[in-house]
Structure 1
Amino acid sequence: MAAILGRAGTTASGGFRRHHQETSRGGRRRGAVVVAAVTGAAPQEGSLERPAWSGETPVSRLVAALIAFKPLYSLMKVASREVIIRTAEKSNIPWREMTRKVLESDVYEVFERIRDPDIVYPDYYLSPFHAYDEGNLSWLAAAEAEAATLSIAKRAIPEATSIEEANQIVRGNWMNAIEEHHLKHGGENCQINDILDIGCSVGVSTRYLAERFPSAKAVVSASLATSLKIVLSRFSVC
């Protein structure tokens, strides 16, 4: 969730500020992450109010029964995970290499230095999530977050010719909505100075926001998950 502010503000602990570098011509060159213009694909409203596997339909009851049978659910998780990883690697996302790079870095040492033992997480933060039995706060979840995000975008937009195009469409649609809301309620002369991305995971969407709204002097990411914040600070470029 991103909040865009049209007035000056301050950065928060755990966030990052986008830096500009001067080019030889005296202009500004943004960070290493460059996002091309959004393709302009408009979101389309589906014919169903909810997916066929949710609610009280026969399909949803079957899915719920399968999930409730733990031995079978464990196999389903493994199979689902393998599908996502294969999709990523077929699309030239080096899933395993990206994960290894994170887990073999200094993230554990950083965690011990900055963790706050007084933080009490809600129960749902610690519950099994997706294919992670330890929940979304586990190190494996943090290490795989960016690769998973890129892979899911490609699966969501199968007609996209590349991972970059899929992400431009997925994120472009909601960034268009943010921009339209800002213009409607702030006006064309209300400049965006600060962006706060709450629940930022490892900052993939934060980087897209930074590129989409170059007038922002401060782009801040915020997350309760210490592991995600460490991965963001170590491996995200803005």
Structure 2
Amino acid sequence: MEILDRIPGILNYAVVNAEDGSIEKVKGSTPSPLGDLTAFFSSAAEVIKNALNLGELNFVSLCYGANRLVIFLHNGKYIGIEVEREQSPQEFIRRVLEHLTVPVSPKEEKPEAVVEEKIVEEKVVEEKKVEEVKPPPMVEVHLSRNISSKLVQINLLIDEFGSGGKKAHWLEILNQGLGIIATDILPMVGIIGERLEFKQTPPKEKEDEIVQILRTVIDFLVKKAVEEMGSSQARLKVQAVIEKMKQL
């Protein structure tokens, strides 16, 4: 799949084995867990397709922030390609398949326009990397009591589950959960100083929706804790968080 590196317009990509769902390759720099997203939604699409007798699905398209993830099947692999949100999935898949089905000879001289386009694309990706490490702008964020409470609970769970030097591991799990089940609020949140924070004031009319998303993230973290440390240990840590919440 190295040929994907040479296709202008691809920001990042992931390749997932369609048979067992294993992530074979992830390329690029993105805050979203691209491999997990591709594996999860390709599997979910298969389940929905079979349950509703939809026949063959050509692709799955997800939008988040300024980007779009397009997932399609090719030669037994699910390919998840992150492109700019404005890209047409159908047109972009056509372009990608043309490159995948017609290998480019290493000795073939590429047209100057293509070389220039690739250079521009690399520059855009490089600039994107630089932007990601910039400190967040200093803006005043106002959170409702319900949203703030759920946010505190998530951070306390990360502290408890990540005690004993495992915080980085649990922050990664949190990142995965956000990428899978909280795509609607991804542009508004980020992990800053090892804590989940809102980077902007969420719309008041979406408060109930955001609270429900954060509640789902909490359930995701607790489920992961049960899987990793057993129900008894996870229950003790959750209880510790509840006690801390009572003191706030």
> Shorter-normalised TM-score: what interval?
under 0.3
Q: TM-score, normalised by structure 1?
A: 0.24
> Whose helix fraction is larger, Structure 1's or Structure 2's?
2
- TM-score for the superposition, normalised by structure 2: 0.23
Q: Which structure has the higher relative contact order (CA within 8 Å, separation 6+)?
A: 1
Whichever structure has more strand as a proportion of its residues is 2
Larger Rg: 2
